[in-house]
């Protein structure tokens, strides 16, 4: 197969786009697509001060490096969950990219604040590790934005993540989540920063190819607690549909965004601002909560640890 642009031997075929590229032209194609997504959905606006949530995986590290290449300077935030070698190696990869692009990263260490790793925190809360981890991540990411004046939190969620989540929500008609998976969420002034997912329309395979071709060293392992069995099943099902009908995943997600735009246009009420709008504020720390103490403060209280949320700064 030949590269669509230069006619040299192609290194990657993109069946969903009915095309193929050599390394150089794939990088150009990929960056252009992300740039178009950012512009089309107004993800990054003039005057924004973005921060990237970096996990050490291919998605977030590629996003961080790609933004730098596009001339969008962004610092990073990493939440160290204290999961043995997985967390240690993740941080090493993050620091290497931080050094390479000359940006700093704010690091929140779960074990330093909670005096135990995320699995032990979860046990005390009687929750699954990733449920406790999600709550802590949301809290500290929001806190760093508000405290340090970043008005936009960018994450590396990709097309496959979003399609699997949407598939699950449609399959079980989880109406409470169905319309809350937008490509961006508006800010709740002074309490929650804006959020956006620039890789929303990029498949996992494309992002992995981008990372490898551009020499970004990332951690291959996924967090041992991150993906539920159901998500993996949905990804496999969507993968086989994609195999026989290339482009289906992209159509599914683009159709969702189009539908969401129409709903927002016809009923621009609060409900469709997504999950970013707080319903109440924590009596202890003032950050958003469903009412009473927020999950973060409740956890500290349960563990009889005084409030703290310290960050280490690297770079
Ligand atoms: P996941 O839910 O693990 O697929 O992660 C989705 C996105 O959340 C990643 O692309 C990152 O942007 C962000 N993220 C996940 N884990 C962490 C972490 N420990 N620290 C900072 N950001 C994270
Ligand atoms: Fe949530 Fe690992 S425990 S990503
Ligand atoms: Zn080429
Ligand atoms: Zn609180």
Give yes or no for a contact between 150 and 144, defined as CB atoms under 8 angstroms apart: yes
| pLDDT at res. 281 | 87
Q: Which three-class secondary structure state does DSSP give residue 140?
A: helix
**282 CA distance to ligand 1 middle (Å):** 24
Q: Whose CA is nearest to atom 5 of ligand 1?
A: 157
| pLDDT at res. 269 | 59
pLDDT at 309 over 80: yes
**298 CA distance to ligand 2 middle (Å):** 20
| pLDDT at res. 268 | 66
Distance (Å, whole) CA 233 – CA 236? 5
Helix axes 248-266, 229-244, angle to 10 degrees: 110
Pocket test for ligand 1, best of 107, 108, 139, 156 (most atoms within 8 A of CB): 156
Cα 142–143–148 angle (5° rounding)?
110
- Among all ligands shown, which has an atom nearest to the Cα of 285? 4
pLDDT in tens, 4-59: 999 999 999 999 999 999 999 999 999 999 999 999 999 999 999 999 999 999 99
| pLDDT at res. 89 | 97
Cα 275–281–287 angle (5° rounding)?
80
pLDDT in tens, 157-177: 999 999 999 999 999 999 988
Q: What percent of the chain has pLDDT over 70?
A: 96
pLDDT at 198 over 90: yes
Q: Whose CA is nearest to atom 1 of ligand 2?
A: 130
Pocket test for ligand 2, best of 223, 227, 228 (most atoms within 8 A of CB): 223
| pLDDT at res. 276 | 53
**253 CA distance to ligand 2 middle (Å):** 25
Q: Is there an atom of ligand 1 within 6 Å of 59 CB?
A: yes
- The domain defined by 31-278+306-314 carries CATH number 3.90.1150.10: no
8-state DSSP, 134: H
Pocket test for ligand 2, best of 79, 226, 227, 228 (most atoms within 8 A of CB): 226
- Among all ligands shown, which has an atom nearest to the Cα of 278? 4
Q: Which three-class secondary structure state does DSSP give residue 20?
A: strand
Is residue 199 classed exposed, middle or buried when 0-12, 13-18 and 19+ CB atoms within 10 A define those classes? Answer: buried
pLDDT in tens, 266-287: 876 555 445 455 568 899 998 8
| pLDDT at res. 280 | 84
Single out the residue of 143, 151, 142, 177 nearest to residue 162, CA to CA: 177
**80 CA distance to ligand 2 middle (Å):** 10
Backbone angles phi, psi at 79, to 5 degrees: -105, 110
pLDDT in tens, 223-239: 888 767 889 999 999 99
| pLDDT at res. 189 | 72
Mean pLDDT of the chain: 93
Q: Which atom of ligand 2 is nearest to the CA of 137?
A: 1
Q: Is there an atom of ligand 1 within 6 Å of 158 CB?
A: no
Phi-psi category of residue 263: left, alpha or beta, with phi > 0 → left and psi -120 to 50 → alpha: alpha
Q: Which three-class secondary structure state does DSSP give residue 268?
A: coil
Q: Which atom of ligand 2 is nearest to the CA of 118?
A: 3
Q: Whose CA is nearest to atom 3 of ligand 2?
A: 130
Q: Residues within 5 Å of ion ligand 4 by Cβ?
A: 282, 284-285, 294, 297
pLDDT at 298 over 70: yes
Instruction: Give alpha helix (H) positions in the chain.
Output: 23-40, 58-69, 84-101, 110-114, 118-125, 129-148, 159-171, 175-178, 204-213, 229-244, 248-266, 295-302
Pocket test for ligand 1, best of 34, 51, 54 (most atoms within 8 A of CB): 54
Confidence of residue 74 (pLDDT cuts 50, 70, 90): very high
Question: How far are the Cα atoms of 2, 56, 135, 275, 282 from residue 110, in angstroms, in the given order?
Answer: 49, 16, 12, 24, 20
pLDDT at 110 over 60: yes
**224 CA distance to ligand 3 middle (Å):** 38
């Amino acid at each position: 197969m030949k590269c669509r642009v230069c006619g040299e031997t192609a290194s990657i075929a993109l069946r969903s786009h009915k095309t193929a590229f050599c390394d150089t032209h794939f990088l150009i194609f990929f960056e252009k697509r992300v740039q178009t997504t950012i512009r089309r959905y107004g993800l990054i606006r003039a005057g924004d001060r973005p921060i990237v949530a970096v996990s050490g995986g291919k998605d977030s590290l590629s996003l961080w490096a790609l933004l730098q290449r596009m001339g969008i300077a962004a610092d990073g935030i990493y939440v160290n969950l204290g999961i043995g070698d997985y967390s240690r190696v993740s941080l090493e990869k993050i620091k290497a990219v931080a050094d390479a692009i000359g940006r700093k990263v704010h690091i929140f260490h779960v074990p330093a604040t909670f005096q135990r790793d995320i699995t032990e925190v979860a046990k005390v809360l009687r929750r699954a590790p990733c449920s406790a981890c999600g709550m802590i991540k949301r809290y500290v990411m929001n806190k760093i934005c508000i405290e340090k004046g970043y008005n936009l939190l960018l994450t590396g969620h990709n097309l496959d993540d979003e399609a699997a989540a949407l598939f699950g929500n449609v399959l079980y008609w989880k109406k409470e989540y169905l319309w809350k998976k937008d490509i961006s969420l508006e800010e709740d002034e002074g309490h929650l920063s804006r959020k956006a997912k620039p890789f929303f329309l990029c498949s996992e395979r494309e992002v992995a190819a981008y990372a490898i071709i551009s020499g970004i060293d990332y951690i291959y392992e996924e967090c041992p607690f991150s993906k539920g069995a159901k998500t993996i099943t949905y990804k496999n099902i969507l993968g086989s549909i994609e195999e026989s009908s290339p482009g289906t995943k992209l159509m599914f997600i683009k159709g969702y965004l189009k539908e969401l735009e129409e709903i927002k246009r016809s009923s621009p009420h609060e409900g469709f601002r997504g999950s970013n709008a707080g319903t109440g504020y924590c009596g202890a720390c003032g950050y958003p909560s469903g009412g009473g103490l927020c999950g973060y403060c409740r956890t500290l209280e349960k563990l009889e640890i005084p409030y703290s949320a310290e960050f280490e700064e690297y770079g």
